[in-house]
Amino acid sequence: MTVPRIATTTPIGPVHAPLLVVGCSLGTSALLWHKSAEILSSDFRVSTWELPGHGASPATREGFSVADLADAVAASYTEKFAYAGVSLGGAVGLELALRHPQRVSAVVTVCSAARFAEPQAWHERAQTVRASGTGAVVAQSAQRWFAPDTMARFPDVAGRLLHALRDADDESYALCCDALAEFDMRGLLSTIAVPVTAAFGAHDAVTPEEASREIADGVTNGRVIEIAGASHLAPADSPEPTAVAVRNALAGQGLEGMTHEHS
């Protein structure tokens, strides 16, 4: 296992605002957070990091764990930050809270879990992608990712996200699947003292409300928020409700610059 190289975007937002780092889900790029990040940039400097072989991040051929991804994120920023991540990006947030509590002021997991599918399912998906490429999982991902009306309301964003999946490096995607197969934080949640808010999408069948409640109930300081109208890719389905959920989750956590709340 090795700490992979990742790409990060230049923060957007007021120069003296607190830093918010956001992470993406498997198969997506920084595009996932684009609209939500613009909204959040009124209160934060928002920077997105991308998974290995996704977006601008370089491809890798060496295996890594979700913990290694957390180490890569911690090494990419020089100051303390708040964190929000979707699905695999949320799992990285839990590892950040566990491994680098001094670096993270608060964590928001979005449509995430302390453990995802059975390991065999992840290994099978990795095998499929190694054999046939990420294009082989596009149709299935489109069904899991979006709320029923998202492709009609946001056809450009949905289409570009599916293209990001098709463009992801096959082996890097498969290695992410291998990392998810080994990921299981359930027995470690009670050791996390960093404030954690677990946000779930109302239509998300991949990581439903129960997954968020398991996180919030397991950590020392946790709570749950619902994101209305969202499925698994909440920032794509519901960019404004997702931004509001993240902002409200981070308000009151002692972050400089959080001087007002938004409805």
pLDDT digits (tens, 9 = 90+) for 172-202: 999 999 999 999 999 999 999 999 999 999 9
How far lies 74's CA from each of 104, 153, 162, 240, in Å? 9, 36, 28, 27
**pTM for the predicted model, two decimal places:** 0.95
224, part of any domain: yes
Residue 263 domain-assigned (yes or no): no
Rounded distance, CA 42 to CA 143, Å? 33
DSSP symbol at 25: P
Q: Is residue 259 part of a domain?
A: no
Q: Residue 157 falls within a domain, yes or no?
A: yes
Residue 262 lies in a domain: no
Structure tokens that stand for 88 in this block: 């695999």
Chunked into runs of 10 residues, the chain (263 residues) has average pLDDT values of: 91 96 98 97 98 97 98 97 98 98 98 96 97 95 90 92 96 98 98 98 96 98 96 96 96 53 32
Q: Which residue has the tokens 């009609």?
A: 152
The residues with which 198 forms a beta bridge, in sequence order, are 109, 224
> 252 burial class (0-12, 13-18, 19+ CB within 10 angstroms)?
exposed
- Structurally, the chain folds into a number of domains equal to 1
Q: Which domain holds residue 204?
A: 7-250
Query: Does residue 229 sit within a domain?
Result: yes
pLDDT per position as a tens digit, 48-65:
999 999 999 999 999 999
- The reported pLDDT for the residue numbered 257 is 42
Q: Give me the CATH number covering residue 149.
A: 3.40.50.1820
Check residue 252 and give its pLDDT: 66
Task: Supply the pLDDT for residue 256.
Answer: 44
- Coil vs helix vs strand at 67: helix
Q: Decide if 222 is inside a domain.
A: yes
The set of residues, in sequence order, having a beta carbon less than 8 Å from that of 187 and lying 6+ positions away, is none
With left for phi above 0 and alpha for psi between -120 and 50, is residue 187 left, alpha or beta? alpha
Nearest CA among 94, 88, 130 for reference residue 111: 88
